[in-house]
Amino acid sequence: MRIENGNSELNPRGEEMAQAQINELSLPGRLGDPNRTLKTDPRVDPRLVAALAPFGMDGAPPAVAVGVDSPIKAKLDYLAATEAAMQSIFSSFVADMPPLPNIERRTETIRGQDGNEITLYIHQPQNAKGPLPCVYHTHGGGMVMLTAADAGFRRWRDELAKAGLVVVGVEFRNGGGKLGNHPFPAGLNDCMSGLQWTFDNKDKLGISRIILSGESGGGNLALAIALRAKREGKLNQVTGVYALCPYIYGAWGQPSKELVSLVENDGYLIDVETVPVLAAAYDPEGKHGANPLAWPYRATVEELRGLPPHVISVNELDPLRDEGLVYHRRLRTAAVPGYSRTVNGTIHAADVLFPKVIREVSDATIRDMKGFADSL
């Protein structure tokens, strides 16, 4: 800035520098600084950084040799190794939490529509008085890894049961990992079979209504179940949907002006360069990229119209944040009742995966799920 005869005149070069400084200060995450990592982002809850640091997950993600164009075996080997690592890490965050009392836990084994056996994990409060809302839970893992039997998901079902909900967790087939290799629509078929059994056994289970819920890939499945139930004339089985950080876009190699969070939060627990490997395992031949049952982000307003109430909960520092918010806006356009919420300071699925680390945040999500279920 230079001043002449009492008037100010902005130097063009100075204007560029000032604008660059403003951009760096105002744009969040890697939009403002491409070198920013989770541990250097001022928005993140420092407890999450401290919890992830011992595993080297607080900084830039390591380079991965496998990619979308790699042979399917290389992709499946990568998923198997990633699954084992994630199971070990996530179980450590609940390993020393005291067991929750007064909860009944049992399993049911049913026959799925494809002739395969499906395990259902049922958690409910002891001595419940009267029918309770049921959360039909589809676990995270990008539809290609992790299991409903994993310690973190067992704990999540216990936490929901403690809040006064019946929880049915479905062990669906995955596109990779221990429960693979079963690409789309195998896992969704299992989820539909489990939902049918749950609906048919409402009285036996002490259930008043069924709310579909899952996080990440489980959020994808919860939304897809509702869409498929509409197609098959089974919406009477679903009273509501509560999807957390849903993984629903499926085309991360393609830039999108709507999905700024893919750049803003890239590398924060989820690396956008390697996430397409999960999508490729779910749909190896790439035939279902436009199918909303595989990728609910592709659902049209007309396909959403008439669905039961939905809640879309997202995490502020999640690369997948904006795909959930776009879906929420499309639900609004379709006049589907419900609301969205953003859990500030948190990474992908943190309120589910890190209950001990951010106890009050996890509790707030559980209270909101219970309140939503009670309101229907």
Residue at 177 is within a domain: yes
Whether 280 and 352 map to the same domain: the answer is yes
16 and 120 share a domain?
A: no
Mean pLDDT of the 333-360 span: 98
Q: What percent of the chain has pLDDT over 90?
A: 87
- CATH number (domain holding residue 267): 3.40.50.1820
What pLDDT, in 10s, does the model give residues 233-263? 999 999 999 999 999 999 877 778 899 999 9
Residues 3 and 135 in one domain: no
How far apart, in whole angstroms, are the C-alpha atoms of residue 239 and residue 347? 29
Q: Taking the CB of residue 199, how many other CB atoms lie within 10 A of it?
A: 18
Identify whether residues 94 and 176 lie together within a single domain: yes
Average pLDDT, the chain: 93
| Strands 117-125 vs 166-171: parallel, antiparallel or unpaired | antiparallel
Q: Are residues 10 and 157 in the same domain?
A: no
Please tell me whether residues 172 and 254 are part of one structural domain: yes
Examine residue 6 and state whether it is found in any structural domain, yes or no: yes
Does pLDDT of 10 surpass 50?
no
Radius of gyration of the chain, Cα coordinates, nearest whole angstrom: 22
Q: Are 164 and 132 in contact (CB under 8 A)?
A: yes
CA atoms of 184 and 164, how far apart (whole Å): 33
Structural domain includes residue 65? no
Full-model pTM: 0.93
Using CA atoms, how far apart are residues 45 and 343, in angstroms rounded to an integer? 11
pLDDT at 129: 87
Q: In whole angstroms, what is the distance from residue 204 CA to residue 207 CA?
A: 8
Q: Are residues 6 and 143 in the same domain?
A: no
- Taking the C-alpha atoms of residue 53 and residue 362, their distance in angstroms, rounded to an integer, is 20
- 41/45 Cα distance (integer angstroms): 9
Q: Report the alpha-carbon distance of residue 83 to residue 88 in Å, rounded.
A: 9
Whether residues 105 and 27 share a domain: the answer is no
Q: Does residue 365 sit within a domain?
A: yes
Same domain, residue pair 150 and 276: yes
Tell me: do 143 and 255 sit in the same domain.
yes
Which structural domain range is residue 1 located in?
Answer: 1-35
Q: Is residue 58 in a domain?
A: no
| pLDDT tens figures, 73-92 | 999 999 999 999 999 999 99
Do 5 and 134 have their domain in common?
no
Which pLDDT value is given to residue 6? 41
How many CB atoms within 10 Å of residue 295? 24
Number of structural domains (the chain) is 2
Q: Do residue 13 and residue 92 come from a single domain?
A: no
Rounded to 5 degrees, what are φ and ψ at 221?
Answer: -65, -40
**Alpha-carbon separation of residue 370 from 34, 70, 213, 321, 339 (angstroms):** 39, 43, 12, 22, 14
Separation between Cα atoms, residue 278 and residue 68, nearest integer Å: 9
Q: Is residue 24 part of a domain?
A: yes
44 in a domain, yes or no? no
Assess if residue 306 is contained within a domain: yes
